[in-house]
Structure formats: structure tokens, C-alpha cells
Amino acid sequence: MTVVSGTLQTYDRVGNREDLEDVVYNISPKDTPFVSLIGSVPVSATRHDWQTDTLRAPAANAQVEGDDYAFQTKPPTVRVQNFTQIASDTLIVSNSQEKADKAGRKSELGYQLAKMGAEIKKDVELSLVSNVASSAGSSTTGRVSAGFPAWITSATSTNGLRGSGGSSGGFNSGTGLVTAATNGTQRAFNKTMLDTAISTCYNAGGNPTTVMVSPYNKRVFSTFMSDSNVAQQRSAANGKKTAIVAAADMYLSDFGELAVVPNRVMLNASASRNVLVIDPDYVARGVFRAMQTEKLAKTGDAEKRAVVTEFCLVMKNEQASTVIADTFGLTAST
């Protein structure tokens, strides 16, 4: 068929209204599972200190009746510390843009502030799960809170928790700083590593409840159902439907049940290489300044805002948790 001569078509018309949906679609993940897992504690200074201690090893204890006591010198507690880190973002919106009739949001300020809040929460999450050393900062450099993997001193190469050439970081009482761990040769995450990590925590007195992994290592974990590391495939009757079950979310170890939680923030290349084995009773987010929006001084025909928070990781006792370091976290080779 042919178009009748003289037919008015949309292609050359002026004045047709646009068809723009009144919504903005954004699928970027907002979840922060590490922050959601651990509790928070108030912090009252930019350097936050706390103490750790241990019981002596059990020993044979049979004393002579009537004998005088022999007194032993008791070791002092260990004082450790971390520094608060400031995370912020800024925004300036012209008054004309705020007034304009917009699709998908009524207020540009409100829309952008909501986005910034979610983005900073993910920045905090990345800081807490990353192998970063602490820093006291200066008048020209920001303070840095040491992340979870940097605190761990028990994940040595000898027990399989680090790749070849890797070494632990940890708190240095001489400098008052936490040193980042040294990366080793990467290798595939496996069930033996997980069992060793859990028993390491248990032997030290911890009771880890959560294993936090990159999305790739969550898939690797699901292959642990088979000794040959072949993904579990079993049919489950569900009415008239049949499901192929090839995933696992819980691990019943010799020392308790642990949830295995994927963390999309750990798609970051440096964060993905560590599998975190967490006892949340001994980890917290220190809050010096809760996230807040600040209205900044007006200097033009626009509105200025800043969103800011100040936090640190409080590793109440690092021996309750551990890391399985130097795993392939993104693919079978990275």
C-alpha cells in the first residue's frame, strides 16, 4: 500500500507534544549489607579508642593443701584505636531548574539529595569492607578509618587464609595505626578455606554468623554442596512445578550455622578478593556525625547543599572474625 498524497504525518509536524514518562528509572543497588549487619556505637572524638583482653590458656591446676599462694603478674589490657573518616558530597542547583516543571521528580534538590545519601552510604560500605590502613590525617589530608580486612592479624599464610606471599596487617601499638594487609597470590575460594576460617574464629573465642562475599564468590560457595565442587542440581517438587536448586544461602559448619551474604559493593576489584567471616557482636560502625544535610551559604541564583557523615570501624576484638584473603573475586582469574 502507498500513503495517500497530502497525508499529514508526524515526521514533519511542528507542535506535537512529547511523550515523556513522569518517572526516572534507576536500578543501581542501594543495599549496604555490611552496615546493616553490624551495629553502631556513638563516638565522641576523631580518634576512638577501646580495649581488648584475653583469658590465659587453660592449664592443670591442682594445689597443695595448706600451701602458701604464689602470685602471678597479670598482663594489662590492650588499647587499640581507629580514626573517624569524613564522607561528603555537594550539590548546587539553579533556582530556575528548581522552579522548572520536571518529569520524574517535583524537586531537583530533593531528588539529588536522595541520590547523594544513597551514594554516600555505599561509600561508607566500601570503606568498611576494604583493606585500607588507618591514617590520622593532617591539615591537608583526610583522616582514614581502617577497614575490616586490614584489622585481621590471624589470617596467616600457614593456615591457608592468605595466598602465597600475603601477610597480615593489623594494629601497631607503637604507631597507633592499623597497617593494611599485603596481597598474596590469588586463588580459588574453596570449602577447606571456609572451614579453616570458621574454626580459627571459634578457637579464638568468636562465634561468626555471617560470611560476606562478592557476587562471584557467592556462586562459588553454592558449588560446595558437592565434594567434587560441581554445582548442586536437584529437583524439588512444588505443586505441579519443578525447580532446579543450584544455590545455597546457609552453611551449617562444625561450629554453627552461618549465613552467606553477597555484597554488590564488593564488585570493587580490591574489595572482591577478600571473603569476610564476621562475628557481628564484635564489629560496629562508630558514628561521630550521623549523615546530615547542610544548607550552604548562598552566593548566587542557586541553592547549595552538602551531605556529610563521619564514621569509623570499631573492631571490638579482631580475633572473633577473620578474612579469607586473595581469592578470585570477580571471575575465575581476577
Q: What is the pLDDT of residues 97-149, one digit of tens each?
A: 999 999 999 999 999 999 999 999 999 999 999 999 999 999 999 999 999 99
Q: Is 22 inside a domain boundary? A: no
Q: 42 CB contacts (<8 Å, ≥6 apart)?
A: 286, 287
> What's the rounded Cα separation, in Å, for the pair 61 and 104?
73
3-state secondary structure (DSSP) of residue 216: helix
Phi, psi of 224 (to 5 degrees): -70, -10
Dump the DSSP string for 133-168: --B---SSS--BPPPHHHH--S--GGGTSS-TT-B-
**What pLDDT is stored for residue 235 in this prediction?**
45
Q: How confident is the model at residue 167 (pLDDT cuts 50, 70, 90)?
A: very high
Q: Measured in whole angstroms, how far is the alpha carbon of residue 274 from the centre of its chain?
A: 11
We report the CATH number of the domain holding residue 204 as 3.90.1690
User: Residues 77-96: what's their mean pLDDT?
Assistant: 97
For the beta carbon of residue 139, count every other beta carbon within 10 angstroms: 4
Q: What is the pLDDT of residues 184-205, one digit of tens each?
A: 999 999 999 999 999 999 999 9
Q: Is 298 inside a domain boundary? A: yes
> What's the rounded Cα separation, in Å, for the pair 97 and 109?
9
By percentage, how much of the chain surpasses pLDDT 70? 92
Q: Is 83 inside a domain boundary? A: yes
> What's the rounded Cα separation, in Å, for the pair 38 and 282?
9
Q: Is 267 inside a domain boundary? A: yes
**Long-range contacts: 23-27, Cβ < 8 Å, 24+?**
23/103, 23/104, 24/103, 24/104, 24/105, 24/111, 26/115
Q: Is 66 inside a domain boundary? A: no
**What pLDDT is stored for residue 247 in this prediction?**
78
- Mean pLDDT taken over the chain: 92
Q: Is 20 inside a domain boundary? A: no
Please count the structural domains in the chain: 1
3-state secondary structure (DSSP) of residue 8: coil
**What pLDDT is stored for residue 248 in this prediction?**
83
Q: What is the pLDDT of residues 149-160, one digit of tens each?
A: 999 997 666 556
> What's the rounded Cα separation, in Å, for the pair 92 and 32?
27
In the predicted structure, residue 3 carries a pLDDT above the cut 50: yes
Q: Is 111 inside a domain boundary? A: yes
Q: Which residue has the higher pLDDT, 21 or 323?
A: 323
CA-based end-to-end distance of the chain: 57
Using a 10 angstrom Cβ sphere, with 0-12 exposed, 13-18 middle and 19 or more buried, the burial of residue 89 is: middle
Q: Is 58 inside a domain boundary? A: no
Nearest to 82 by CA among 153, 204, 201, 170: 170
Domain that holds residue 241: 30-49+78-324
User: Residues 57-63: what's their mean pLDDT?
Assistant: 95
CB 157 within 8 A of CB 167: yes
